[in-house]
């Protein structure tokens, strides 16, 4: 991977400074291409970024982003740019009921000894008071059916139909499938293809305790990407900020692309378009005619967005000592205790972030309604909230947060090779097999970089392999 390409003077423009664009840019810079990373905004990160929120005068993430041990390409990208040690990892998930009763899910471990996968999580599930015995048996049945890789790959069923067919109880539906799995995929169960849910179950709960470990950044997300900018600068490459790309033109004579940005024109031999699907559609619609361009546009049309909202609350005191929790039976789903996860903030009170996944009704609330509703629900889980003073609050609505993964969506996810010469596609929505996540974005960047070096006649491997299943899962 570290071998330099014989590429002196060869240049590539990567359009879009999200995780997909950054991972492609850094991989290509590593093998000697001169990279121009062009970003519309004044900072990197795209849908996974942070900024100074003027209303609360704090640097906040647009939303808490979590990754898992199975996100090998994202972790590989963080390692490449030297920021992997800024992640905090945990193996435990605490579920809380509105009366405050807690259940812990996570691997059974005593010191370095634990049960082999996929049994590592069984003791905590059996002890979890959030689920009745009937719920636990139903979950066990469904996990078994989803265990074998490939078994459901060609299923065209929705998760909702599949769960009904597998006789899931109300508790299992509401407290596990809707809350944990559907919110990880950020859609409702009637709009999720079974293979994507099965992938989540296998990776997070069955393959190994390492694959299911949850990672969170201990610094604002944009601080991670300072590593990417340094990495590029150290290799003769650079980032162009505030440079919306408006058009791309191909010159057959010089075999180069000219890239028209708001601030002027750039040129390069190669181009990687690392944009979300709607921005890719807008740009590619203005491209010269090419075989397969119509089919690509038809694929893009099939994609749909789902919203995600986060409510950021600053209290005058600590309301819980838990670093994070899953909140059951209410509209708020996930709690992240940022004061614990980011102690450098040195707050006298506390800062918590609540995440509401895939809820179009919550996204329709006004700022005041959303904050009031969230604080009321939070008080049901943590009574201290009733006495605490809310010092400031912010609501971040991301209406176009993630793309949906309904049955049939794989046919609408294009490969990195595009219909145009020397132009490649990346972005979480392209053909990675992963749902809308930072891992999918990092994979797409690595795949586009591989396709580009292949076309340049010096194929390189950037895609990092999946974590190998452990324990008994090795034999499944």
SS3 state at 173: helix
Instruction: Please report whether residue 419 would count as binding ligand FAD according to CB under 6 A.
Output: no
Angle between helix 72-80 and helix 19-30 axes, rounded to 10 deg? 60
Which residue's CB is nearer to ligand FAD, number 7 or number 436? 436
Q: In angstroms, give the least distance from the CB of 280 to ligand FAD.
A: 8
DSSP H/E element including 297: helix 293-301
Cβ at position 397, least distance to ligand FAD in Å: 9
Tell the smallest beta-carbon distance from residue 355 to ligand FAD (Å).
Answer: 7
In the complex, the smallest distance separating the C-beta of residue 437 from ligand FAD, rounded to whole angstroms, is 3
Q: Which stretch binds ligand FAD (CB under 6 A): 25-33, 46-54, 198-206, 337-345?
A: 46-54
One residue of 11, 12, 14, 65 binding ligand FAD per CB under 6 A: 65
Q: Is residue 19 at the binding interface for ligand FAD, with CB under 6 A as the rule?
A: yes
H or E element that contains 250: strand 245-251
Stretch touching ligand FAD by CB under 6 A, among 102-110, 111-119, 432-440, 459-467: 432-440
Q: Which of 418, 23, 404 is nearest to 224 (CA)?
A: 23
Q: Considering only residues 7, 11, 14, 21, which one is a binding residue for ligand FAD as defined by CB under 6 A?
A: 21
CB 96, CB 102: distance < 8 Å: yes
Q: Is 244 in the site for ligand FAD (CB under 6 A)?
A: yes
Query: Least distance in Å: CB of 317 to ligand FAD?
Result: 27
Q: Is 401 in the site for ligand FAD (CB under 6 A)?
A: yes
**Tokens 């996930």 — which residue?**
334
CB of residue 336 vs ligand FAD: minimum separation in angstroms? 10
- Of residues 78 through 117, those in contact with ligand FAD by CB under 6 A are none
Choosing from 147, 273, 300, 308, the residue that interacts with ligand FAD (CB under 6 A) is 308
> Of the candidates 195, 427, 469, 471, which one interacts with ligand FAD according to CB under 6 A?
427
15: enclosing H helix or E strand:
strand 11-15
- For residue 438, state whether it binds ligand FAD (rule: CB under 6 A): yes
Look at the block and give the residue holding tokens 């990675």: 432
Distance, in Å, from the CA atom of 207 to the CA atom of 270, rounded to the nearest integer, reads 39
Nearer to ligand FAD, 176 or 240 (CB): 240
Q: In the 8-state DSSP scheme, what is residue 175? A: I
In 65-224, which ranges are E strands? 66-68, 87-90, 93-96, 102-105, 109-110, 113-114, 214-217
Single out the segment in contact with ligand FAD by CB under 6 A; choices: 18-26, 199-207, 335-343, 362-370.
Answer: 18-26
**Cα dihedral angle (80, 85, 91, 92), rounded to 10 degrees?**
-130
Taking CB atoms within 8 Å and a gap of at least 24, the contacts of 457-466 are 458/5, 458/6, 458/7, 458/31, 460/1, 460/3, 460/5, 460/27, 460/31, 461/1, 462/1, 462/27, 463/73, 464/72, 464/73, 464/76, 465/72, 466/70, 466/72
Task: Check binding of 388 to ligand FAD (CB under 6 A).
Answer: no
Q: In angstroms, what is the minimal distance from the CB of 431 to ligand FAD?
A: 13
* Residue 395, C-beta contacts closer than 8 angstroms, at least 6 positions apart: 309, 310, 311, 312, 367, 370, 371
Q: Counting contacts by CB under 6 A, is residue 73 touching ligand FAD? A: no
Q: Is residue 356 near ligand FAD by the rule CB under 6 A?
A: no
- Asked whether position 48 contacts ligand FAD by CB under 6 A, the answer is yes
Q: Which of residues 202-241 bind ligand FAD (CB under 6 A)?
A: none
d(CA 206, CA 30): 35
Binding segment for ligand FAD among 39-47, 207-215, 312-320, 321-329 (CB under 6 A)?
Answer: 39-47
* CB-based contacts of 340, cutoff 8 Å, min separation 6: 321, 322, 323
- Comparing CB distances to ligand FAD, the nearer of 437 and 453 is 437
Using alpha carbons, list the distances in angstroms from residue 370 to 289, 293, 397.
46, 42, 10
One character per residue 249-288, x = contact with ligand FAD (rule: CB under 6 A)? -------------------------xxx--x---x-----
Residues lying near ligand FAD in the complex (CB under 6 A): 15-21, 38-41, 46-48, 62-63, 65-67, 244-245, 274-276, 279, 283, 308, 398, 401-402, 427-428, 436-441
């Amino acid at each position: 991977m570290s071998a330099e390409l014989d590429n002196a003077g060869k240049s590539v423009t990567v359009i879009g400074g999200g995780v997909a664009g950054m991972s492609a840019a850094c991989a290509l810079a590593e093998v000697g291409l001169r990279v121009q990373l062009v970003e519309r905004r004044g900072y990197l990160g795209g849908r996974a970024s942070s900024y100074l929120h003027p209303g609360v005068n704090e640097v906040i993430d647009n939303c808490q982003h979590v990754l898992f041990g199975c996100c090998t390409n994202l972790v590989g990208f963080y390692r490449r740019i030297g920021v992997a040690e800024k992640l905090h990892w945990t193996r435990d998930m605490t579920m809380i009921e509105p009366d405050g009763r807690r259940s812990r899910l996570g691997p059974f471990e005593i010191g370095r000894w634990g049960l082999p996968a996929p049994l590592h999580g069984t003791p905590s599930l059996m002890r979890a008071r959030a689920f009745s015995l009937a719920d636990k048996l139903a979950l066990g049945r469904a996990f078994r059916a989803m265990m074998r890789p490939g078994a459901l790959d060609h299923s065209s069923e929705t998760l909702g139909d599949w769960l009904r067919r597998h006789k899931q109880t109300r508790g299992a539906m509401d407290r596990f499938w809707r809350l944990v799995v559907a919110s990880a995929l950020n859609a409702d169960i009637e709009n999720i293809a079974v293979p994507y849910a099965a992938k989540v179950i296998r990776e997070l709960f069955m393959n190994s305790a390492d694959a299911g470990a949850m990672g969170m950044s201990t610094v604002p997300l944009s601080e991670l990407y300072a590593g990417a900018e340094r990495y590029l600068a150290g290799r003769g490459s650079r980032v162009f900020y505030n440079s919306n790309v408006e058009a791309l033109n191909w010159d057959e004579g010089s075999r180069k692309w000219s890239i028209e940005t708001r601030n002027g024109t750039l040129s390069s031999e190669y181009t990687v378009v690392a944009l979300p699907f709607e921005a890719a559609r807008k740009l590619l619609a203005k491209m010269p005619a090419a075989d397969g361009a119509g089919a690509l546009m038809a694929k893009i049309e099939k994609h749909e967005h789902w919203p995600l909202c986060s409510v950021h609350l600053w209290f005058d005191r600590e309301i819980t000592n838990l670093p994070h929790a899953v909140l059951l039976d209410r509209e708020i789903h996930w709690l992240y205790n940022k004061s614990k996860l980011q102690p450098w903030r040195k707050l006298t009170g506390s800062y918590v972030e609540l995440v509401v996944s895939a809820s179009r009704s919550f996204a329709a609330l006004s700022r005041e309604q959303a904050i009031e509703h969230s604080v009321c629900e939070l008080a049901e889980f943590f009574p201290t909230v009733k006495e605490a003073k809310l010092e400031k609050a912010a609501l971040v609505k991301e209406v176009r947060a993630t793309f949906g993964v309904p049955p049939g969506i794989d046919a609408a996810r294009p490969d990195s090779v595009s219909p145009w010469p020397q132009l490649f596609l990346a972005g979480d929505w392209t053909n990675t097999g992963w749902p809308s996540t930072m891992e999918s974005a990092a994979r797409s960047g690595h795949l586009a970089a591989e396709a580009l070096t292949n076309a340049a006649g010096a194929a390189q491997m950037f895609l990092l392999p999946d974590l190998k299943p452990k324990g008994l899962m090795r034999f499944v």
